Amino acid sequence: VNKDYAKTDNMYSLWMARDDIGRGAILLNSDLIFHIDILKMLVQSNFKDALAVDENAKFEQGSMRVKSVKGKLVGMIRNLKKNNGRAVGIYKFSAEGAKKYYEKMRRLIESGKSNGILEDPLNELIENYDVYCVNTGKLPWMEIDTINDLKRAEKKLKSILG
């Protein structure tokens, strides 16, 4: 449990689980609803390290946008001008990828940046390690951050549970 969440963020919360993710992991943001086939596509992809990306997404303020070249992730930041899609918030890491990801995270935390987000070490990782994008196609998903999002999600749930 991250008792310092108010001062840190989700990266530090994930850091606290580092001993449990040595064999690889599927990471997902807890504020998501999504069609199960998105997760299946990601898990069953031939990529050992990848993230789900919606290339057809409508962008909202603060959306995590991704830039890829031939399916390989080359950048990920909110409000990225030139991008290929929006990060859904579901990631697949192999044991090797998880180890390298945590090494980047450790370095960030030791340098005093414990208030980072999950994507901070990922952006450092992709400088010298391949992580790929798996397009969600037209499968429905939604991030729920506000009451209005929740109301919209209630309507969208019918297509997700369909």
For residue 111, which amino acid is it? S
Residue 162, pLDDT score: 61
Task: Give per-residue burial for 58-90: e unless 16+ CB within 10 Å, then b.
Answer: eeeeebbbbbbeeeebebbeeebeebbbbbbbb
User: Can you tell me the mean pLDDT for 114-119?
Assistant: 84
Give the pLDDT score at 159.
65
Q: For 121-147, what is the mean pLDDT?
A: 94
- Amino acid at position 106, single letter: R
Average pLDDT of the chain, as a whole number: 88
How do residues 18-76 score in pLDDT, each as one tens digit?
888 778 899 998 889 899 999 999 999 999 999 999 998 876 766 788 999 999 999 98
- For the chain, percent of residues with pLDDT exceeding 90: 51
Lowest mean pLDDT among 6-15, 83-92, 99-108: 6-15
Can you give the pTM of this predicted structure? Answer: 0.89
Question: To which residue do tokens 């400088």 refer?
Answer: 127
- In the block, tokens 């040595």 appear at 22
What residues have CB less than 8 Å from 105, skipping those under 6 apart? 11, 14, 15, 18, 120, 121
